[in-house]
Chain A
Amino acid sequence: MAVQSKGRHVSYQQIVERHTPPRPIVRNTIRAFVVGGGVCVLGQAVQTLFVRFAGFSPQEASNPTVAVMILLSVIATAFGVYDKFAQWAGAGSAVPVTGFANTMASAAIEHRSEGWVPGVGGNMFKLAGPVIVYGVVAAFFVSLVRYAVMHL
């Protein structure tokens, strides 16, 4: 029975795979490169402004720069622009810190109808949470190893 079905049996997964159009990897990657690079150039411009006009050193300026990029991303999300842009740009919009802010703002806006505490408060980190969880866990162990190597 098992032998018989072996030849003819095609799993649902295989059928799905056969009919899924292949992803345009080259096109997607070029888009991600150009858009992601563009977002970073915008960040570099903001950072240069902080250095020129607010007296930050280039190292210190990266924190306020990230805050400004997040503000811009949240504004774009609130006007519904970022999500359209994200559909086109793929990882080019998801990987910069603006994508992180976008997931938080869009989750907060979307779940507002479920109330302030369970809706906005409970869902804001629904997509951004994993980044913080695994970022902190990884940073903890990396720091532990680095500290041990340097001091023991």
Chain B
Amino acid sequence: MAGAWMTFVWAFVVGGIICAIGQVIMDVSKLTPGHVMVILVVAGAILDGLGLYDPLIRFAGAGATVPITSFGNALVHGALAEAERHGLIGIITGIFEVTSAGVSAAIVFAFLASVFARPKG
């Protein structure tokens, strides 16, 4: 039981640190939030390529899967899983395999929002 609660603590700490890194990059380099998100997504892909992102997910749960870095990680995961099954072509066919939930949910819900919501100020 104590282990379950520690997951929440590590989710907070690790998720917070990833966001704090994003904020420091944004403030020090004066890059736009878009640049920072691109940097983090590429960083997530590279970390997974080095085999470092999975241990982070096991350790921090949603603290590692909710920040945008996990999108890069999931892209590499899908590509490699499919490449194991079908060879090199799997990298292309599998790249969106795991990220389908995020991308399709965002498209469908964003579309519905544009149907029902009015622009605010």
Q: Which chain A residue has the least Cβ–Cβ distance from B114?
A: A108
CB distance from B18 to the nearest CB of A (A): 6
Tell me how many residues of B have a C-beta within 8 Å of chain A: 74
Mask for A37-51, Cβ within 8 A of B = 1, else 0?
A: 111110111111000
B95: which A residues are within 8 A, CB to CB? 136, 139-140, 143
B88: which A residues are within 8 A, CB to CB? 147
The answer to whether B67 and A36 have CB atoms under 8 Å apart is yes
CA distance A59 to B4 in the complex (A): 15
The answer to whether A78 and B72 have CB atoms under 8 Å apart is no
The answer, among A96, A113, A147, for a CB contact under 8 Å with B15, is: A96
The answer to whether A37 and B19 have CB atoms under 8 Å apart is yes
Mask for B70-108, Cβ within 8 A of A = 1, else 0?
A: 111001100110010000100110011010111101110
User: Given A95-B19, A113-B119, A136-B75, 12 more contacts at CB 8 Å?
Assistant: A34-B16, A39-B19, A48-B4, A70-B105, A91-B19, A95-B37, A95-B67, A97-B67, A101-B105, A105-B117, A135-B71, A138-B46
A-B pairs with beta carbons under 8 Å apart, 27 shown: A29-B20, A29-B23, A32-B16, A33-B20, A33-B23, A38-B12, A39-B66, A40-B14, A40-B63, A41-B12, A63-B98, A66-B66, A90-B26, A91-B33, A97-B68, A97-B102, A105-B106, A105-B109, A110-B119, A128-B106, A130-B37, A135-B41, A138-B72, A139-B76, A140-B92, A142-B48, A143-B91
